[in-house]
Amino acid sequence: MPKTGTVAILPGDGIGPEVTEQAIRVIEKLNSDYSAGLECKIAPVGGAAYDQHGHPLPPETLEIAKSSDAILLGAVGGPKWESIEREHRPERALLSLRSELKLFSNLRPAILFPELADASTLKPEVVSGLDIMIVRELTGGIYFGQPRGIKTEEDQTRTGFNTMVYNESEIKRIAHSAFKVAQARDKRVCSVDKANVMEVSELWREVVTVVSSEYPDVQLSHMYIDNACMQLVRAPKQFDVIVTTNLFGDILSDAASMLTGSIGMLPSASLDENNKGMYEPVHGSAPDIAGQGIANPLATILSVAMMMRTTFENIDAADRIEKAVQQVLADGLRTSDIAGEGSAPISTSQMGEAICEKL
C-alpha cells in the first residue's frame, strides 16, 4: 500500500522556486487524479531565508522539515550571499538539514535518456544506455570532520585544515545502503577510495569488504578515486553502483552528471535509516538563468518520482512520472539546456504543463 503524508517544499534560491513550482503542479496532479494523498508545506531556505529571517535555515523551517515525511528542495546559494560569514551562507542550510535529519545516504543516479544521447559531450556509443547509481556518504567525512579551521601561528602565517574521518559504523551503514541498492539493480558495487595513501580509506575498504560478505549475490570491486574519475569518462558503462565518501561522491557525481548531457535532468535522494528523505535536483541554483523561466524542471520532477518510490512506496506514481518524462522527451519537447541546435526550446512552465498532461 502506498503511504500518504506531508512534504516540506523548500524552494530556496535562483531557479529553485521556478523548478519546485512545476514539481508542486505534478504533486497536485497526483493528488487529484491518483489520490496520492500528499500535503505540501512550503518553507523558506538558503539565501531567501537569510534575507527574510536572518538565517539560511530558520528554526520554523527545520521544524517543518523534521515533522514532514519527505522534503523536496529546489536549490540554494548565489553570488548575493557569497561574501557573508560562513555560518550564514545558504550552503550551510543544506549541510545542517543533512546532518540534523541524519540523511547519511545520498543516491545520485546518472541515467541517460535515449532521446538525449546527443546532448552529452561524450560520444553516443560511450554513454548510450548509461545507468549508474552513485551512493555518496553524506553526513560524515571531511565535510564534518573535526578538527577544522584556519589558525594563525605566532609568526602570523596561517594554516587551514580539515579532517577526513570515518568510524566503522558510519562506513557499515553506507555500505549496507549501497549493497541493498545494488540488489535491486545489476548487483555490482564499486567502492571508491584512496587506500593507497590515506588510513581513513584503508579502514573504509576493510569495512566495506566485511559488509559485502552479507551480500553474496552482489559483486564488490574497489577503485582509487583518481582512476575512478578516469574510468567514469573513459568507459562509464562498466559501473553499476558506486559507493564512496562525502567528498569523493561530491566530485564524482558532478562528473557523472555530464555524461548524461545535462545536469538539468538528474534527481537525487538523501535518506535516513528509515527512508525518510530529502529529494533535490543535482543542479544548483543557476543564478545566471534565474528568473527567466527557462530552467529545466525535469530534475526536480524526477526527484518527485524518487520520493514517491522511496519514501511513499508509491511505485505506480513514480513509474507514471518517469514515463511522462520519457514521453515528453520523445515528443521532442526540450528546455534550452537540452535543446539541440535548430530546435525551439520551451519554457519551465510549458515543460511542467506537458508533464502534467502526460500524467
Question: Which of 69, 137, 193, 250 touches Mg ion (CB under 5 A)?
Answer: 250
Q: Which does 91 bind (CB under 5 to 8 A by kind): ligand IPM, Mg ion, none?
A: ligand IPM
- Taking each helix axis from N to C terminus, what angle separates 16-34 and 298-310, rounded to the nearest 10 degrees? 50
Residue matched to cell numbers 518524462: 325
In the residue annotation, 215 being an active-site residue is answered as: no
The residue length of the chain stands at 359
Asked whether the CA dihedral 290, 263, 82, 13 is positive or negative, the reply is positive
Q: Give me the least distance between CB of 300 and ligand IPM, in Å please.
A: 14
Q: Binding segment for ligand IPM among 31-39, 88-96, 172-180, 286-294 (CB under 6 A)? A: 88-96
Nearer to ligand IPM, 84 or 235 (CB): 84
CA 339 to CA 213: how far, in whole Å?
46
239 and 189 Cβ atoms separated by less than 8 Å: no
Question: Binding to ligand IPM (CB under 6 A): which residues in 250-269?
Answer: 250
Our finding on whether 88 is near ligand IPM (CB under 6 A) is no
In the residue annotation, 143 being an active-site residue is answered as: yes
CA 123 to CA 126: how far, in whole Å?
5
Nearer to Mg ion, 13 or 250 (CB): 250
Nearer to Mg ion, 58 or 90 (CB): 90
User: DSSP secondary-structure letter at 186?
Assistant: T
Our finding on whether 137 is near Mg ion (CB under 5 A) is no
Question: Which of 7, 94, 305, 317 touches ligand IPM (CB under 6 A)?
Answer: 94
Residue type, 359: L
Our finding on whether 91 is near ligand IPM (CB under 6 A) is yes
Q: Give me the least distance between CB of 138 and ligand IPM, in Å please.
A: 8
CA 49 to CA 323: how far, in whole Å?
35
Q: Give me the least distance between CB of 34 and ligand IPM, in Å please.
A: 30
| Burial grade of 235 (CB within 10 A; 0-12, 13-18, 19 or more) | exposed
Q: Give me the least distance between CB of 251 and Mg ion, in Å please.
A: 8
In the residue annotation, 34 being an active-site residue is answered as: no
Q: Give me the least distance between CB of 350 and Mg ion, in Å please.
A: 28
What does DSSP say about strands 105-111 and 267-271: parallel, antiparallel, or unpaired?
antiparallel
In the residue annotation, 217 being an active-site residue is answered as: no
214 and 179 Cβ atoms separated by less than 8 Å: yes
Catalytic residues: 143, 194, 226, 250, 254
Give the residues lining the site for ligand IPM (CB under 6 A): 91, 94-95, 250
